[in-house]
Amino acid sequence: MTNTFEDIAQQAKLLFIIGSNTTEQHPIFGMQLRQAVKQRGVPLIVADPRRIPITQFATIHLRHRPGTDTALLNGLMNVLVTEDLYDKEFVAARTEGFEELRDRLAEYTPEYVQEITGVPAEKIRQAARLMAATKPGALMYAMGITQHTSGVGNVMSCANLQMLLGNLGVPGGGVNPLRGQSNVQGACDMGGLPNVYSGYQSIALEASHKKFEAAWGAVPPADKPGLTVVEMMNAAEQGKVRAMYIFGENPMLSDPDINHVRHCLEALDFLVVQDIFMTETAQLADVVLPGASFAEKEGTFTNSERRVQPLRRALDPLGESRPDWEILAEIGARTLALTGQAKAAAEAPHGGWEYLNPAEVLDEIAALTPSYAGIRHGRLAHAPKGLQWPCPGEDHPGTPILHVGKFARGLGKLTPVDWLPPPELPDAEYPLLLTTGRVLWHYHTGTQTRRSGGLSAIAPEGYIEMHAEDAARLDVTTDDMVEVKSRRGQVNVKVEITEKVQPGVVFMTFHFAESAANLLTNASALDPVAKIPGFKVSAVRVTKLSPDGAPAGVCESC
């Protein structure tokens, strides 16, 4: 996020949520946004194909077809430019590339965008005018923007819109991706990505390459980034990747096309999984190492606001399980010795693996990562609000709002983005569009929440949301079992008839292993830059099942 929850909730004059089911997935921030609407009368624009709960509080709900976000955003910007409503001062002083963007936007008239998105042209105009008239406005997005084969283009379009509106670098504004997991921000910050070291220091940059080489004694070549998660799976299938170490992740439910993932993981020579439960992924491992839960260890998490906060140990690890940092440090030291690198590492200032506690690890991170340079356990103990990076020094207070006065790269780059249709759309064979997401009661692959008595009691099983029109055509009603089939796989699941989805669109969550939506999703098409799969759009066919589970009118054994 460029901004903080607090400045958005208290100072934004307008809220624009696109591709985020905020009250279900980020409930506390969702509540704060609801309060901004209720207590301060802030207008709320929600762009979402589904009638998600927060649309009840919306001034305008732009209900576009899944996979048409860029077209919708271009349409809004077309109105800003055509009606001369954009922030000319901001665009002139702080951005570059306006002319190219303007030329590309010309095509995206509200009428043309209506054809693509299904949103009435007049509503697009109304929303754009409201955004221009009510500033600062904050834009929030989540996986509804990113989990597309056009994910990077979608994000750039969000940034384009906020720059045209002059909504960056101010309290109550910003481009604000809401992060889905407790430390997904930190996992990225720490260089858990194939192209960057910690703090987004590019592996290709000579300075960072040399810096980490000097610090650790050795690093891989700078010229070739590693594999992303979906690419790793494919490389495992091809025998190029032979061994994998997976910790605290469950790709056997979270990744697209699970049948394919299983096939890939089973092709490995060696898989080690470190987790707190025997997850669907751990069941495919050769060695399983019992890690510790969040309550059993120390360390830091970084939230969506780039706020680093300390985790404190409340419990002793269960049984013989051990804090994950201890396990990793053991593996690191032993493997280093076995590969004959221990001597070179010992001579480098940060090459060793002897850590007394997580505070020492954070000291090393701070030494090598400019944006975390001022963040230490000792300081966090006396910082009730945590510290927001960039925090380049121990006397630096942290940075609540990014891009104040100047962008990191100097001028903000307006990048024209064309709308591209998703790679797989409904056709005669697979006539419905499946989009996926989550519910309030469960978290990601359900490893934690499905082992919580209350949450499982209130949401025990998966379902497929379907509009009454489609249900009537398929002759199904709420609680009927159906078979959902895509080109990748099939699942059986209960129907829930609802107005949340539009006719032609069905919705499932990926929380439930027994009706795993990701058996259906598509791993073959990825965003060309970020390599994110298009979880939000796949084509499926739904068939009613008879009460004994056989497709009605079809013999299972034939």
Under the binding rule (CB under 8 A), the answer on residue 174 touching other proteins is no
Under the binding rule (CB under 8 A), the answer on residue 156 touching other proteins is no
Nearer to other proteins, 22 or 114 (CB): 22
Question: Which residues make Cβ contacts (< 8 Å) with residue 384, sequence separation at least 6?
Answer: none
Residues 380-399 within binding reach of other proteins (CB under 8 A): 384-386
Nearest approach, Cβ of 242 to other proteins (angstroms)? 4
Quote the distance between the C-alpha of residue 427 and its chain's center.
28
Query: What number of CA atoms fall less than 13 Å from residue 523's CA on the CB side?
Result: 26
Q: Which of 7, 69, 87, 189 binds other proteins (CB under 8 A)?
A: 189
Nearest approach, Cβ of 340 to other proteins (angstroms)? 9
Nearest approach, Cβ of 416 to other proteins (angstroms)? 24
- Interface region with other proteins, contact rule CB under 8 A, candidates 133-141, 155-163, 226-234, 471-479: 226-234
Nearest approach, Cβ of 238 to other proteins (angstroms)? 11
Q: Which of 195, 238, 478, 546 binds other proteins (CB under 8 A)?
A: 195
Report strand pairing: 481-485 vs 490-497.
antiparallel
Q: Which of 171, 217, 412, 437 binds other proteins (CB under 8 A)?
A: 217
Nearer to other proteins, 165 or 387 (CB): 387
Nearer to other proteins, 48 or 296 (CB): 296
Residue 45 contacts residue 130 (beta carbons within 8 Å): yes
Under the binding rule (CB under 8 A), the answer on residue 183 touching other proteins is yes
Question: Which residues make Cβ contacts (< 8 Å) with residue 160, sequence separation at least 6?
Answer: 73, 77, 101, 414, 415, 417
Question: Which residues make Cβ contacts (< 8 Å) with residue 180, sequence separation at least 6?
Answer: 25, 142, 143, 444
Nearest approach, Cβ of 183 to other proteins (angstroms)? 6
Under the binding rule (CB under 8 A), the answer on residue 214 touching other proteins is no
Under the binding rule (CB under 8 A), the answer on residue 208 touching other proteins is no
Residue 376 contacts residue 362 (beta carbons within 8 Å): yes
Nearest approach, Cβ of 16 to other proteins (angstroms)? 19
Residue 288 contacts residue 278 (beta carbons within 8 Å): yes
- Interface region with other proteins, contact rule CB under 8 A, candidates 98-106, 416-424, 427-435, 487-495: 487-495
Nearest approach, Cβ of 345 to other proteins (angstroms)? 7
What are residue 28's phi and psi, to 5 degrees? -70, -40
Residues 98-137 within binding reach of other proteins (CB under 8 A): none
Pattern 247-266, binding to other proteins, x per CB under 8 A?
Answer: xxx-x--xxx-xx--x---x
DSSP 191: T
Nearer to other proteins, 225 or 392 (CB): 225
Residues 512-531 within binding reach of other proteins (CB under 8 A): 516, 519, 530-531
Beta strands in 122-202 (DSSP E): 137-141, 175-177, 196-197, 201-202
Its sign, for the CA torsion 199, 202, 208, 214, is: positive
Q: Which of 40, 88, 406, 451 binds other proteins (CB under 8 A)?
A: 451
Under the binding rule (CB under 8 A), the answer on residue 463 touching other proteins is no
Residue 16 contacts residue 158 (beta carbons within 8 Å): no
Quote the distance between the C-alpha of residue 361 and its chain's center.
26
Under the binding rule (CB under 8 A), the answer on residue 159 touching other proteins is no
Under the binding rule (CB under 8 A), the answer on residue 432 touching other proteins is no
Under the binding rule (CB under 8 A), the answer on residue 436 touching other proteins is no
Q: Which of 310, 370, 426, 431 binds other proteins (CB under 8 A)?
A: 310
Under the binding rule (CB under 8 A), the answer on residue 552 touching other proteins is no
Give first-to-last CA distance, the chain, whole Å: 54
Under the binding rule (CB under 8 A), the answer on residue 343 touching other proteins is no
Contacts with other proteins by CB under 8 A: the residue count is 166
Nearer to other proteins, 229 or 425 (CB): 229
- How far is 26 from 15, CA to CA, in rounded Å? 15
Residues 399-428 within binding reach of other proteins (CB under 8 A): none
Q: Could you count the other beta carbons within 10 Å of the beta carbon of residue 315?
A: 11
Nearest approach, Cβ of 507 to other proteins (angstroms)? 17
Residues 274-293 within binding reach of other proteins (CB under 8 A): 275-278, 282-284, 286-291, 293
- Interface region with other proteins, contact rule CB under 8 A, candidates 111-119, 124-132, 295-303, 537-545: 295-303
Under the binding rule (CB under 8 A), the answer on residue 59 touching other proteins is no
Quote the distance between the C-alpha of residue 190 and its chain's center.
16
Q: Which of 70, 167, 302, 538 binds other proteins (CB under 8 A)?
A: 302
Nearest approach, Cβ of 176 to other proteins (angstroms)? 11
Under the binding rule (CB under 8 A), the answer on residue 153 touching other proteins is no
Residue 265 contacts residue 252 (beta carbons within 8 Å): yes
Nearest approach, Cβ of 120 to other proteins (angstroms)? 28
Q: Which of 16, 216, 430, 512 binds other proteins (CB under 8 A)?
A: 216
Tokens of 77: 């910007």
Name the residue with tokens 């790679």. 423
Q: Nearest-5° angle of CA 83, CA 88, CA 89? A: 155
Under the binding rule (CB under 8 A), the answer on residue 367 touching other proteins is no
Please count the residues of the chain: 558
Residue 107 contacts residue 100 (beta carbons within 8 Å): no
Nearest approach, Cβ of 145 to other proteins (angstroms)? 13
Question: Which residues make Cβ contacts (< 8 Å) with residue 273, sequence separation at least 6?
Answer: 246, 247, 279, 281, 282, 284, 285, 287, 288, 289
Q: Which of 121, 130, 229, 481 binds other proteins (CB under 8 A)?
A: 229
Q: Which of 515, 304, 477 is closest to 402 using CA atoms?
A: 304
Residue 436 contacts residue 517 (beta carbons within 8 Å): yes
Q: Which of 205, 315, 411, 420 binds other proteins (CB under 8 A)?
A: 315
- How far is 522 from 230, CA to CA, in rounded Å? 11
Residues 36-55 within binding reach of other proteins (CB under 8 A): 38-39
Query: What number of CA atoms fall less than 13 Å from residue 11's CA on the CB side?
Result: 13
Q: Which residues pair with 491 in a beta bridge?
A: 484
